[in-house]
A and B are shown apart, each in its own frame.
Chain A
Amino acid sequence: MEITKKKKIEFTKIKNQELLDELKSTKEDLNDLEVYIREFSSFLPFAVCSINPLGIIIDINQAFQKLTGYGEMEIVGEFLAKYFLEKKKIKALLNKARQEGNRLVKELTLFSKKGRKIPIRASVSVRKNERGNFIGYFVGIADYTKIKRLQKDLREKVRERTAELRDKINELEREKEIEIVLRIREKAKVFDIRKKVEELKNARTALLNILEDVEEERRGAEAERNRTISIISNFTDGLLIFDKEAKLFLINPKAKSLLKINNKIKLLGSSITDFAKKVEFKPILNLLSKDIKQVSRKELQIRRGLILEVSSLFIFHKKDVVGKLVILHDITREKLIEKMKTEFVSIAAHQLRTPLSAIKWTLKMLLDGDLGKITIEQKEFIKKTYQSNERMIGLINDLLNVSRIEEGRYLYKPILCNIIEIIQSVIDSLKQEIVRKKIIFKFEKPKEKLPQVKADKEKIKLAIQNLTENAIKYTKPGGKITIFLRHSKKKIEFEEKDTGVGIPKDQYSRIFTKFFRASNAIKMETEGSGLGLYIVKNIINAHGGKIWFKSKLDKGTSFFFELPISKK
């Protein structure tokens, strides 16, 4: 019994020792396991954290601390999402992993303690206990910084390489293009050279043709020049040509002869002033220095027995003035004949006027009954004869006036006179005729007082009378005549406007010439010497005035003249 008890105690001791040994061994294994887990966690290169079901960090390994810079004390117990840029995404990832029970991976961005954004790849797997209950997550975090950098570098390198390749391709294409262009240019060059040779050949032929033409032209021009020179040399008028710089370019023999120029005197290239001095031909200065636009003509007595009509005109080439031509026309003979004619007219008129005056007075005495009684029939005949004699006297007076004008003896005696009074006296003298023809006659005087003009009263009166008589004569009965008088500081302007027959346009230029009567005037009034307007023009010009007219056929005519106002 004792032995059995001892054996039992011995057995129990052995069993206890075995249990103690087992416990000791388990404890050692547990400690080794703890160390192993700790070391494993420390040496694990990937950041790993343990998360509870609420998303709170329970544990982190050293790689996690190294990656984020956070210590265990700082981060354990905090929400995992707090450390992610994409907070919603990490939460969603955790939820999805819980629902699906799979390991899920997503690229996200983690914040380091210093605020650096770390590109990471998060792997989430669900933790379950032995009963299969969900107890949290393991989250593994792979640092993608280097990979991202590599990716970026790679992308950049690819981009750079692509750009380099593109540049290379472009360069090659450019080179190819240049080569093509060069080839084309070379071809074009050869083509151009051939073309140019051809053109040169053609040009040479053309030039030879032109040279032939030019030679022909030259010969023609020379012949023409010779012809022109012979014409100019043999021209019956003297010719002087000044170039556009007003220097003598040409003088023909006739001009030399007229101006008695010695051949020894060098005249070509002389200015107009030098020329005038050298040949003692000063009037040419006045004539050529005037800014004339068209032909200028003047009669000049060069010396006794030589009267020249000197005409000056511009020479145009297209529209440009290339010089001035002076024509010296010897009119000595014409002037002599004209003088003789004028003298004849003067003598004839004088000789005729005396018997005509005698006839006038005799007829007047017969009409007045001073020489005895005459019958009514006789009286009518004598009256007509008297009127014809009056017209004859008028014509003789006109002819005398003209001859005086032409002889230069029509000198006027200027005195200060009132032009209104002169006009009024003319109107008064013609009143009977105005009334007879039932013409409405108006004299529009200026409102202000007119200054006096220095004029030959009789001659001005004659001029106004001639104009007014013409107006009455060529205005049909019932027509209208108006005299206007205007003035400025320097001149008085006279206008006589009628509603008469007017002047045909083609006869405007001859209206102030001697013995001219317009065709419609001749038809209307058979009588008229054609000297009236010629005398009027000479009177006005002799007063330093100007005369002109405006007319419309069958509508009427306005004659104007202006006289300078004398200051004293």
Chain B
Amino acid sequence: MIQSQITKEEIKRLIKIDGKVRGQTLLTDFGYIKEKKGKRGIVLLKNKIKEWNAPIDYDKIKALNWYPVGFRAISLLAIKEVFNWGDEEIEKIGNTAPKYSFIVKMLIKYFFSLAQTYKNAPLYWKKHYSVGELEAPKINEKEKYLVLRLKNFKVHPILCPLLKGYFLRIAQYALGGKKATIKETKCEFNGYPYHEFIITWR
């Protein structure tokens, strides 16, 4: 048996982190694995969670219920370890998440324009996470870029590629067919006071 790189202590630490996350986010991870890896993948993922003694039961999670924010990190770490995936795949999960998200579908009313989408970013964030504040300090439609900042959200670095993919998808919804890219220019884990993402498009 391959030795897990995540220690049980780390799992405990993550569970104890202050802050909640909507069950929907966990369900989107679960849905992605179901789609990509099928039943066998689900079994492997559940086994890994059990192995870590993490109290995550995907079958009982409710989309609109709140769960410890660390669950999101544990879920992604388990996926990463079980399927030996890198940041790119995690980013893809993030990019796909809005497709499954019940909350996103409910919040579609905020996406009718790019400006509206990012004006409502703090509200939108609060619908998913109880910690951290998301804001869009700069939107330049002329030069085709926007800046997103996420403050007070230092859960685990695995969430950075996930959020990259996630924010890009939301931008894509608002930009239509325009080709958009995203970069994380600043990260709290690298000593910055916040995470900063810059989205550009053509």
Contact = CB atoms under 8 A, between A and B. Distances in A.
Given A27-B65, A76-B99, A77-B99, A58 B105 contact: yes
B115 to A, nearest CB: 12
A73 B101 CA distance: 11
Interface residues of A, number: 26
Contacts of B176: 54-56, 79
Interface string B95-112: 010111010110011011
Contacts of B104: 58
A59 B104 CA distance: 9
Given A77-B172, A136-B108, A53 B99 contact: no
Nearest to B113: A53
B42 to A, nearest CB: 16
B63 interface: yes
Interface string A48-86: 001011111011000000000001110011010000000
Contacts of B175: 54
Contact of A59 (B64, B105, B112): B105
B112 A73 contact: no
Contacts of A136: 108, 112
B102 A135 contact: no
B7 to A, nearest CB: 33
Interface stretch (A30-38, A329-337, A477-485, A496-504): A30-38
B149 interface: no
Nearest to B96: A73
Interface string B105-144: 1001101110000000000000000000000000000000
A136 to B, nearest CB: 6
A129 interface: yes
B94 to A, nearest CB: 13
B95 to A, nearest CB: 8
Contacts of B96: 73
B173 A73 contact: no
B81 interface: no
B105 A50 contact: yes
Interface residues of B, number: 26
A87 B99 CA distance: 23
A76 B105 CA distance: 11
Contacts of B108: 50, 52, 58-59, 127, 135-136
Nearest to B104: A58
Contacts of B113: 53
Contacts of A52: 108, 111-112, 173
A31 B169 CA distance: 26
A497 to B, nearest CB: 119
A53 B177 CA distance: 12
A54 B201 CA distance: 16
A50 B102 CA distance: 12
A50 B101 CA distance: 13
A59 B107 CA distance: 12
Q: Which of B104, B172, B173 has the most CB of A within 10 A?
A: B173
Nearest to B103: A34
A135 B172 contact: no
Contact of B112 (A27, A38, A55, A134): A134
A133 interface: yes
B62 interface: yes
Interface in A207-243: none
Q: Which of A27, A37, A50, A56 has the most CB of B within 10 A?
A: A56
Contacts of B169: 77
B6 to A, nearest CB: 27
Interface of A: 27, 30-31, 34, 37-38, 50, 52-56, 58-59, 71-73, 76-77, 79, 127, 129, 133-136
Given A27-B64, A53-B111, A134-B112, 6 more contacts: A34-B63, A38-B102, A54-B177, A58-B104, A73-B35, A135-B108
The 10 closest A-B CB pairs, nearest first, are: A76-B99, A54-B176, A129-B109, A135-B109, A135-B112, A59-B105, A31-B62, A53-B112, A30-B64, A34-B63
18 contacts: A27-B65, A31-B62, A31-B63, A52-B108, A53-B111, A53-B112, A53-B113, A54-B174, A54-B176, A56-B176, A58-B105, A58-B108, A59-B108, A77-B172, A79-B177, A127-B108, A133-B109, A136-B108
